[in-house]
Structure 1
Amino acid sequence: MGRSFEQYQKRKLISSYFSVVLSIGLVLFLLGALGLLLLNTKKMADHFKEQITISLFLKDSAKEVEVDQLLKSLEVMEYTKLATYVSKEAAAEKHSEEIGENFLEFLGYNPLKNSIDIQLNADFVSPEQIEEIAAELSKKKHVDEVSYDKPLVGLLSENVKRISFWILVASAVFTFIAMLLINSSIRLSIYSKRFIIKTMQMVGATKTFIRRPFIWTNVKLGMLGAILALLGLGGVLYYLDQNFPEMDLFHDIPQLAILFGSVFVLGVLISWISTYMAAQRFLNLRTDELYY
């Protein structure tokens, strides 16, 4: 009978520890994922910004040598990420594929112009800067017309600012919620041992002596939860890197190391503080208050 009760208590204790580790792990995983999103917000924003293209339509009188010189001069500009020459034949072929029919047969001639497509560096993608760049490019000798999607540029810049702001707000709110959830899990775990705490106190044990094993146990659980969260984050990073290599998530290893280290330290720190506060609360209760 005594052995069965002992096994029951052991299973109950393991179940309690497992619950705390799982709660801490899930909360830290979500917090780490949000941190990962926050760190990569600029990178993702830059990726979308660099898809913006300025098209320079060239005059028919422009010679091949002059076009090559213009292309080379554009490639060395600080705002240029990539400059590509597109012949009117290639443009016609691409347009035919998009509309699903050969419009050259219908028209009898090619109305398109040779062009140079410029993809800009992300730092230069804003309505004001692109307007200045377009004005400068339109003055070049062999350029007939400069074209870009002006509404898209404005919409992209506005949305990037809005999303960045709300991610910061969400990060702050979620960090606070994470602390509450971890604190609640640890507090419930210590609540089940409140009578043991009071008994130890009544036989003369000091508060420090009583708190120490609870703090050490929950700090270890916090470490296990943090490791669980980091394994999950590592899996997510690997999956994203395999399926979206253009995001180059493993490019900045020190940044990832700081994020992973922060998640681990946060798990340990919150566990320590929550255990200290919960244990202190039950140490300060009167015996008759333990039943409420």
Structure 2
Amino acid sequence: MARTKKKVGAYPSGMILFSLTLALFLIGFCGMLAIQSKRVVTYIRENYEMRAFLDKGLSDVKLTKLSKTIAEKPYILKTKGAAQVTFVPKDVAAKEFIAETKEDFSKFLGENPLRDSYRIKLTEEYFEEAKLQQVKQDLEEVDGVFEVVYQENLVDNINRNITKIYAVMSAFALILLLIIVVLMNNTIRLALHSQRMLIRSMQLVGATNGFITRPFLGRGMWQGLLAGVIAVVLLLVGLQVAIHNLPELAMFQDPQKLTFLLAGIVGLGVLIGFLSTFQAVNRYLGMTLDELY
């Protein structure tokens, strides 16, 4: 029976493809979590409300002017061009207070002591204590505004927790990337072990290192590309399944960042395939005959 000739760059690739696909999928999953968490953080910050309580007895003309003045402030959140400033009459505020506390203060006070107010949403960059204090002072200087209040402790707690979450996710992603690089180097090195004698034979007949390395690098980059595409498909399928089962996730999607992430996954697959193969082939190119055996 004739022996099967070995072809340069042809080595068992099933385990490499599986390992690289799994690695890229995990990296992509971490990236998607980061994107989702960023959108959630933005949603929380942009839905945080300050309350501007107004002077009593303001006329409709004064209220209209006051609303316009507040809406033109640079820190006011605007959604589709509309300033997120909502007028809350004191009667509505009283109903909300009674519904929350189950206590009707009008029965023993005889009147509604609450004030008309504006509920104000701010842009995300103002969601920190120093800037919120500046916003509070600026609004209280507006004619017709009695007092501005917000939950100071809540802002500090949210910002601290967000910082901790980002730190943990960054550390996890870095550790995962290091593990993946080491794993792929070892996997490709083991796969190339069967080609070590062929590499040596080509060196003996005068083949240059570039000529020997080229087919291995081409195969490694192709495997990285294929693994990246498979990982992207799995991530998209998983995302659609998640949105189907939890429709609320749809509002936290960022198509532009998701596109960059998926393209980065494919590019990272090609890069890992190239670098890992290059390092493994160069290792065998530099070995002596005794070391090869």
Q: TM-score, normalised by structure 1?
A: 0.80
- Shift of residue 228, structure 1, vs aligned partner: 1.2
> Structure 2: which 5+ runs fail to align?
5-9, 78-83
Contact 1:59 1:113 in 2 (8 A): yes
What root-mean-square deviation, in Å, do the aligned CA atoms of Structure 1 and Structure 2 show?
3.2
Contact 1:31 1:178 in 2 (8 A): no
> Structure 1: which 5+ runs fail to align?
7-12
- Shift of residue 20, structure 1, vs aligned partner: 1.1
Change in Cα spacing, 1:195 to 1:106, as seen in structure 2 (3 Å) is farther
- Aligned to 2:52, what secondary structure does the other structure show? strand
Question: Which residue does 1:9 correspond to in 2?
Answer: none
Structure ranking higher in helix proportion: 1
Change in Cα spacing, 1:78 to 1:197, as seen in structure 2 (3 Å) is same
- Shift of residue 131, structure 1, vs aligned partner: 0.8
| Equivalent position amino acid for 2:250 in 1 | P
- Aligned to 2:13, what secondary structure does the other structure show? helix
Question: Which residue does 2:7 correspond to in 1?
Answer: none
Contact 1:200 1:210 in 2 (8 A): yes
2:14 maps to which of 12, 18, 39: 18
2:44 matches 1:48? yes
Q: Choose 197-206 or 172-181, whichever is displaced more.
A: 197-206
Mapped to 2, the partners of 1:274 and 1:139 lie a distance apart of 63
2:245 matches 1:249? no
Contact 1:226 1:263 in 2 (8 A): yes
- Shift of residue 203, structure 1, vs aligned partner: 5.9
2:264 maps to which of 262, 265, 275: 262
Contact 1:54 1:118 in 2 (8 A): yes
Mapped to 1, the partners of 2:63 and 2:239 lie a distance apart of 43
- Shift of residue 178, structure 1, vs aligned partner: 2.7
Q: Choose 30-39 or 83-92, whichever is displaced more.
A: 30-39
String of CA shifts for 1:101-123, please: whole Å, max 9, x gaps: 35257545434322111011112
Change in Cα spacing, 1:161 to 1:208, as seen in structure 2 (3 Å) is same
Mapped to 1, the partners of 2:183 and 2:112 lie a distance apart of 66
Contact 2:28 2:262 in 1 (8 A): yes
2:27 maps to which of 28, 31, 38: 31
- Shift of residue 17, structure 1, vs aligned partner: 2.2
Q: Choose 160-169 or 209-218, whichever is displaced more.
A: 160-169
Contact 1:53 1:118 in 2 (8 A): yes
Question: Which residue does 2:92 correspond to in 1?
Answer: 90
- Aligned to 2:85, what secondary structure does the other structure show? strand
| Equivalent position amino acid for 1:147 in 2 | V
Contact 1:183 1:271 in 2 (8 A): no
Contact 1:27 1:181 in 2 (8 A): no
Mapped to 2, the partners of 1:126 and 1:24 lie a distance apart of 41
Contact 1:222 1:271 in 2 (8 A): yes
Question: Which residue does 1:191 correspond to in 2?
Answer: 193
Change in Cα spacing, 1:70 to 1:93, as seen in structure 2 (3 Å) is same
Question: Which residue does 1:59 correspond to in 2?
Answer: 55
State the number of aligned residues.
Answer: 279
Question: Which residue does 1:272 correspond to in 2?
Answer: 274
String of CA shifts for 1:271-292, please: whole Å, max 9, x gaps: 112112212212332333335x
The residue correspondences of 1:62-73 to structure 2 (distance < 5 A) are: 62-73=58-69
- Aligned to 1:244, what secondary structure does the other structure show? helix
Mapped to 2, the partners of 1:190 and 1:83 lie a distance apart of 65
| Equivalent position amino acid for 1:24 in 2 | L
- Aligned to 1:103, what secondary structure does the other structure show? coil
Question: Which residue does 1:10 correspond to in 2?
Answer: none
- Aligned to 1:80, what secondary structure does the other structure show? coil
- Shift of residue 180, structure 1, vs aligned partner: 2.0
- Shift of residue 52, structure 1, vs aligned partner: 2.0
Contact 1:237 1:249 in 2 (8 A): no
- Shift of residue 182, structure 1, vs aligned partner: 2.1
- Shift of residue 225, structure 1, vs aligned partner: 0.5
- Aligned to 1:118, what secondary structure does the other structure show? strand
Question: Which residue does 1:216 correspond to in 2?
Answer: 218
| Equivalent position amino acid for 2:217 in 1 | I
String of CA shifts for 1:165-213, please: whole Å, max 9, x gaps: 5544544444333322222221221124334444554566554443333
2:140 maps to which of 134, 138, 141: 138
Change in Cα spacing, 1:40 to 1:78, as seen in structure 2 (3 Å) is farther
Q: TM-score, normalised by structure 2?
A: 0.79
Contact 2:70 2:139 in 1 (8 A): no
- Shift of residue 262, structure 1, vs aligned partner: 2.5
2:130 matches 1:128? yes
2:161 matches 1:156? no
Identity %: 28
